[in-house]
Amino acid sequence: MLRAALCAVFLLGALPSLAKESRGHVSVVLLGATGDLAKKYLWEGLFHLYLDQVSSGHSFTFHGAALTAHEPGQSLMFEVLKKLACPSDVSPDRCAVVKDQFLKLSRYHQLKTSDNYTALNREIETLLQQEGLEEAGRIFYFSVPPFAYAEIARHINGSCRPGPGAWLRVVLEKPFGHDLKSAQQLAIELRTFFREEEMYRVDHYLGKQAVAHILPFRDQNRRFLDPIWNRHHVERVEIVLKETLDAKGRTSFYEQYGVIRDVLQNHLTEVLMYLAMELPANISSTEDVLRRKLQTFKALQGPESTSAVLGQYQAYASQVREELQKAQDYVSTTPTFAGVLIQLDSLRWEGVPFLLTSGKALDERVGYVRVLFKNRAYCTQRESLREAGQSQCGAKQIIFYIGHGELSCPAVLISRNLFKPIMPEGSWKEVADRPQLRLFGLPLSDYYVYSPVKEREAYSVLISSIFHGRKDSFITTENLLASWEFWTPLLDSLTQQVPRLYPGGLENQHLLDFEMVGRELSFTLEEPVELLHMDGQKPGDYRTIQAKFRQSPLVSAWPEELIARLASDIETAAAEAVARCGEFHLALSGGSSPIVMFRRLVTHHYGFPWRHTHLWLVDERCVPLADPESNFRSLHDHLLQHIRVPYLNIHPMPVHLNRRLCVEEDRGPELYAKEIAALVNNASLDFVLLGLGSDGHTASLFPRSSSGLEGAQTVVLTESPVKPHQRMSLSLPLINKARQVAVLVMGKGKHEITTQMSRVGQEPRKWPISGVNPSSGQLVWYMDYDALLG
Ligand SMILES: *[C@@H]1O[C@H](CO)[C@@H](O)[C@H](O)[C@H]1NC(C)=O
Ligand SMILES: *[C@@H]1O[C@H](CO)[C@@H](O)[C@H](O)[C@H]1NC(C)=O
Ligand SMILES: *[C@@H]1O[C@H](CO)[C@@H](O)[C@H](O)[C@H]1NC(C)=O
Ligand SMILES: *[C@@H]1O[C@H](CO)[C@@H](O)[C@H](O)[C@H]1NC(C)=O
C-alpha cells in the first residue's frame, strides 16, 4: 500500500515533463547515492545533465540507491538534492523551476536484495507503460567500493536490463584493481555481466577541462605542432598533481595503495597518453583514439626501480598506527610522494623524459602538464631591451594548467615565442594579463593564456559524455590492463625501497627536488640525518675488509662500495691492458648484479678506454638478442647504449643462426671460439666477470652436467635447470686462461652457497664455481656483507 502511494505521488509529480513528445526515456540509477562522491559531485553532475537535456525531448527519472533502509536513506539523499546549485549562466528563476522538476523526478531506493532489484525494474517498466514512453536506455552509476561490484553487476544483468532496442550503460569508479592480476580478475568478472561497450570506467581526470582539451589542441594546431612535437624539439614533459592534504582519515585505503596506484597509474598515465599518442586523422573517432592510445601503451619502456624517487610525509606512520591500530613499531613503506621517469620506445619520443610526479602534504595544490621545448637560441641584445614575449631566448613551453595553484583556474598557456594557437571560439577565451604573476619562469605576459568560457566540473563533463555514449574519455578494459602491465613490475620492485621522509607543507623546502641522470632519478639533496629512520647505523661506517676466500683475495663491503671498487679495478685492468698491447678484452656475465656495475661504469668512469675495449659475453640464453631475457640485450640497455665502443669490438654470442636458436648443426660455439682465437692473444681474456648462482653455478655451467667443465672446447652449449633452458657459455678451461677473473656475489640469497663454498674443495661437477681457478691469472672475490655474513 505504502509503496503504491509513493509511486503515485512520484508519477504525478513527474507528469509535466514526462508527458511531452518523447525521444525516449532515460532512467539513471546512482548506486551509493548518499556516499561522499555522490554528495560532492555526482548529484550535481546529474542535475547539470538534466538542465542541459530538459528540452532535448528525452525524459528522465533519477533513482538514488544505497543499502540503507528507505528511512533514513531517503532523507539523507534529499538533503543533498535540496542543496544543488545551477551554474552561474542559468537564471535564478529557471534554476528554481528545473530544480523543482529534478527533485520530483528523483527518488530513493534501498537496493540490497535481488527482490529490491526486481522491484526497481518493475517500477521502471510500469512507469514506461503508464506514460506510454519508449525506453532510450538506463545508466547505472557504481559509486560503491569495488568489492561490491560483482554482486551488483549480477543483479543488474539478472533483472534490470532494459528491453530490446534500449541501451545499458554502467559506470564504474576506480580503483580498478590493485595490480595486473587483480585488475584482470575484476575484468573477467565484469565481462560475464556486461558487454565491453556497456562499461564506462571513469578516470575523472579525463573530464578536467584542460586535460580534455589536449587532443583537440593538438588537432587544431597541427600546423604548428607537427614539426616540433617530437624528440628533436621537446626537451622534457612534466605531468604533475600536487596536493596539500594528507591521507589522514583515509589511511585504510591509502596504506594498501600509495601514491603510484592512487594517482600515477591512472590519472597521470592517462594524461601521458594524450600527450604522447600519435594523433589519429580524425580525433572525433573514438575507435581511432582508443587504438592509438593502446599503441602508445605498448611503446612505454618498463621503468626500473632506479627511475623512481619515493617519499613519505613524516606524520603518515603515526596516522597509520592510530587509524589501523598497528603496534608502535609498525613501519610503513607506502609512498605518499613519487617522481617517476618514463621513456617511450618510439621514433617520436625516444630519449625524451616524461616526468610523472604526485604527492600529499606538499607546499601547494596544483595540477599541470608542462611541455618544455629545447631552446638553441642565443640573444645578443641585452635583456632589458628585448620586447616581452618576442625574444627567442625565453623559455619555450606549452602548459595545460589543470587547476588550482596560483592561476586557480583551468588554462592553456603557450609561450609567445612559439606560436599563437588556434583555440575553439565560444568555449575558450583569451585571458587578460595578471602582470604580477610569474609561472614556470616567465611572466604571464610572455604567454598566450586561454581559459574556458564556462568552467565545468569534471564529473559534469563525464556524465554528459556517458549520456551521449561517447567513450573516448573512459578507460577500456584493454587500456586498463595495459596500464597495469606497465606499472605492476615497477610497483613490485619498489616494495623494498624505503621512502624518504619529508616534514610536509612549506617545510619540505628542497627536500623533494629530484634530478635526472641518464635514465635514473635521484633526490638532489642528501637525506638529512635527523630524518633518517635507520637507528644510527650507516653503511659507510664500515671499511672495506680485505681478506681471503678459498685461498683467493676477497673484497667485501656494503653493496655500493663494493660496486665502486669493482668498477675501479676493471678500469685499472683496462688501462694496463691498453698500455701493454693496445686493447682490452672484457667478458661480462648476465644477471642483475653486473647491471649495477655497468651503471657505475657509465656514471663514474669517463676516462675508461672504451674505444680500445672488446666486449665478450661469458654466457647467453638461447633467445633472440632483442628478447628481454637476453644477456646481450641487458648489456645493450645498461651499458652499450651509454658508451662509445666501436661496433666491431662488440661480440654477442651467436645463439641465433639460420633463424633458429642454438641448434648444434649451426655450430654457434665453434664460431664464437674461432672469433676469440682470432682476436684474443693466446685466447687469454684480460678480465672475466662471473657471478655465482645459489646452486653453485657460474657462467652457464650448471651442477650435474659435465658440459664445459674440461676438455678442449672453449665455448659450449649447456642446459639450465630453469627457463630458458638452453644456454651458450664459455668453458672453465677458457675462463681459467684469463688474466683476471672476478666473481661478484651480492645479496642475502647467496649467503648459504658462499658459506658452503668456503668449506668445500674443488668439485666442479657438484659446484662449477669451485672449478674457477685461473692457471696463470688472478681470481678475486667481490662479496657484499649480506652474501658473506648473511
Ligand atoms: C528489499 O528487499 C528486502 C528483502 O526482500 C525487503 O525486506 C525490503 O523491504 C526491500 N526494501 C524495499 C525498500 O523494498
Ligand atoms: C547476462 O545474463 C544472461 C542471463 O540472464 C546471460 O546469458 C548473459 O551471458 C549475461 N551477460 C551478459 C554480458 O549479457
Ligand atoms: C570523424 O569521426 C566521426 C565519428 O566517427 C564521424 O562522425 C565524422 O564524420 C568523421 N569525420 C571525418 C572527416 O571523417
Ligand atoms: C698462452 O697460454 C698458456 C696457458 O694457457 C701459457 O702457458 C702461455 O705462456 C701463454 N702464452 C703467451 C704468449 O702468453
* Shortest-distance atom of ligand 3 to CA 287: 5
Identify which ligand lies nearest to the alpha carbon of 287.
Answer: 3
pLDDT tens per residue across span 312-368:
999 999 999 999 999 888 888 999 999 999 999 988 999 999 999 999 999 999 999
* Shortest-distance atom of ligand 4 to CA 776: 4
CATH number at residue 105: 3.40.50.720
Q: Give the pLDDT band (50/70/90) at residue 718.
A: very high
Min mean pLDDT across 359-363, 405-409, 765-769 is at: 405-409
- The type of residue at 403 is G
Q: How much is the average pLDDT of 499-515?
A: 93
* Shortest-distance atom of ligand 2 to CA 198: 13
Contact criterion met (CB below 8 Å) for 139 and 27: yes
CA distance 95 to 89: 10
Spatial CB neighbours of 453, under 8 Å, sequence gap ≥ 6: 426, 427, 428, 429
Residue 531 pLDDT: 39
In a domain, 8, yes or no: no
Q: Give the pLDDT band (50/70/90) at residue 547.
A: confident
Q: What share of the chain is helix, strand, coil (3-state, %, to 5)?
A: 40, 20, 40
pLDDT tens per residue across span 281-320:
999 999 999 999 999 999 999 888 889 999 999 999 999 9
Q: What angle do CA 684, 689, 694 make, to 5 degrees?
A: 130
Q: Is 7 near ligand 1, meaning CB less than 6 Å away?
A: no
Residue 4 pLDDT: 34
In a domain, 185, yes or no: no
| 622 and 517 part of one domain | no
Query: What separation in Å is there between the alpha carbon of 286 and the centre of ligand 3?
Result: 9
Residue 653 pLDDT: 97
| 518 and 555 part of one domain | no
C-alpha grid cell, residue 500: 624518504
Q: Which of 173, 192, 219 is the last residue of a domain?
A: 173
Q: Is 116 near ligand 1, meaning CB less than 6 Å away?
A: yes
pLDDT averaged over the chain? 90
Min mean pLDDT across 177-181, 237-241, 378-382, 776-780 is at: 378-382
pLDDT tens per residue across span 567-619:
999 999 999 999 999 999 999 998 888 999 998 898 888 889 999 999 999 99
With residue 669 as reference, give the H or E element that holds it.
helix 668-679
Query: What separation in Å is there between the alpha carbon of 283 and the centre of ligand 3?
Result: 8
| 621 and 657 part of one domain | yes
Spatial CB neighbours of 787, under 8 Å, sequence gap ≥ 6: 745, 746, 747, 748, 750, 751, 754
Query: What separation in Å is there between the alpha carbon of 115 and the centre of ligand 1?
Result: 7
What one-character-per-residue DSSP string does 99-142 give? HHHHHHTEEEEE--SHHHHHHHHHHHHHHHHHHTPPEEEEEEEE
Q: How much is the average pLDDT of 713-729?
A: 94
Q: Is 115 near ligand 1, meaning CB less than 6 Å away?
A: yes
Query: What separation in Å is there between the alpha carbon of 477 and the centre of ligand 1?
Result: 34
DSSP classification of residue 714:
S
Residue 115 pLDDT: 94
Q: Give the pLDDT band (50/70/90) at residue 528.
A: low
Q: How much is the average pLDDT of 707-724?
A: 93
In a domain, 740, yes or no: yes
In a domain, 188, yes or no: no
Residue 789 pLDDT: 87
> Closest Cα to atom 10, ligand 1: which residue?
116
Q: Is 122 near ligand 1, meaning CB less than 6 Å away?
A: no
Residue spans of alpha helices (H) in 209-330: 209-212, 214-220, 222-225, 251-259, 269-276, 286-299, 316-323
CATH number at residue 482: 3.30.360.10
In a domain, 770, yes or no: yes
Identify which ligand lies nearest to the alpha carbon of 581.
Answer: 4
Residue 15 pLDDT: 41
Residue 381 pLDDT: 81
Residue 389 pLDDT: 65
Q: Is 739 near ligand 4, meaning CB less than 6 Å away?
A: no
In a domain, 60, yes or no: yes
Q: Which residues of 691-718 are buried (b: 16+ CB within 10 A; e: fewer)?
A: bbbeebbbbbbbbebebbeeeeebbbbb
On the question of pLDDT at 545 being above 70, the answer is no
Pocket test for ligand 1, best of 63, 67, 112, 159 (most atoms within 8 A of CB): 112
Q: Is 30 helix (H, G, I), strand (E, B) or coil?
A: strand
Q: Which residues pair with 173 in a beta bridge?
A: 202
Q: Which domain holds residue 291?
A: 206-523
Q: Give the pLDDT band (50/70/90) at residue 71.
A: confident
CA distance 166 to 124: 13
Percent of the chain with pLDDT over 90: 75
| 508 and 589 part of one domain | no
Q: Which residues line ligand 2 (CB under 6 A)?
A: 157-158, 192-195
Q: Which one has a higher pLDDT value, 391 or 584?
A: 584
| 128 and 242 part of one domain | no
Identify which ligand lies nearest to the alpha carbon of 285.
Answer: 3
Q: How much is the average pLDDT of 211-228?
A: 96
Residue 267 annotated as catalytic? yes
| 102 and 34 part of one domain | yes
Q: Is 537 near ligand 4, meaning CB less than 6 Å away?
A: no
pTM here is: 0.73
Q: Is 524 near ligand 3, meaning CB less than 6 Å away?
A: no
On the question of pLDDT at 2 being above 70, the answer is no
| 348 and 452 part of one domain | yes
Query: What separation in Å is there between the alpha carbon of 632 and the centre of ligand 4?
Result: 29
Percent of the chain with pLDDT over 70: 94
- The structural domain count of the chain equals 3
Q: Which one has a higher pLDDT value, 68 or 8?
A: 68
CA distance 461 to 46: 10
On the question of pLDDT at 539 being above 60, the answer is no
Query: What separation in Å is there between the alpha carbon of 192 and the centre of ligand 2?
Result: 7
| 158 and 251 part of one domain | no
Query: What separation in Å is there between the alpha carbon of 131 and the centre of ligand 1?
Result: 26
| 217 and 150 part of one domain | no
pLDDT tens per residue across span 627-671:
999 999 999 999 998 898 999 999 999 999 999 999 999 999 999
In a domain, 472, yes or no: yes
Query: What separation in Å is there between the alpha carbon of 282 and the centre of ligand 3?
Result: 6
On the question of pLDDT at 517 being above 90, the answer is no
On the question of pLDDT at 166 being above 60, the answer is yes
CA distance 111 to 118: 10
Residue 496 pLDDT: 79
Query: What separation in Å is there between the alpha carbon of 473 and the centre of ligand 2?
Result: 26
Q: Is 70 near ligand 1, meaning CB less than 6 Å away?
A: yes
Q: Which one has a higher pLDDT value, 295 or 529?
A: 295
Q: Is 682 near ligand 4, meaning CB less than 6 Å away?
A: yes
Q: Give the pLDDT band (50/70/90) at residue 527.
A: low
Q: Give the pLDDT band (50/70/90) at residue 432.
A: confident
* Shortest-distance atom of ligand 2 to CA 157: 1
> Closest Cα to atom 10, ligand 4: which residue?
682
In a domain, 154, yes or no: yes
On the question of pLDDT at 9 being above 60, the answer is no
CATH number at residue 611: 3.40.50.1360
Q: Which of 460, 491, 523 is the last residue of a domain?
A: 523
| 475 and 600 part of one domain | no
| 250 and 367 part of one domain | yes
Identify which ligand lies nearest to the alpha carbon of 776.
Answer: 4
Q: Is 656 near ligand 4, meaning CB less than 6 Å away?
A: no
Residue 377 pLDDT: 85
> Closest Cα to atom 12, ligand 4: which residue?
682
Spatial CB neighbours of 356, under 8 Å, sequence gap ≥ 6: 239, 240, 264, 268, 269, 272, 338, 339, 340, 342
> Closest Cα to atom 4, ligand 3: which residue?
285
| 328 and 450 part of one domain | yes
Residue 359 pLDDT: 98
Q: Which of 155, 267, 404, 751 is catalytic?
A: 267
Residue 87 pLDDT: 86
pLDDT tens per residue across span 77-96:
999 999 999 888 889 999 99
Residue 388 pLDDT: 66
Contact criterion met (CB below 8 Å) for 531 and 498: no
On the question of pLDDT at 233 being above 60, the answer is yes
Residue 142 pLDDT: 95
Contact criterion met (CB below 8 Å) for 203 and 475: yes
Q: Give the pLDDT band (50/70/90) at residue 5.
A: very low
Q: Give the pLDDT band (50/70/90) at residue 19.
A: very low
On the question of pLDDT at 179 being above 60, the answer is yes
Choose among 472, 446, 342: nearest CA to 388: 446
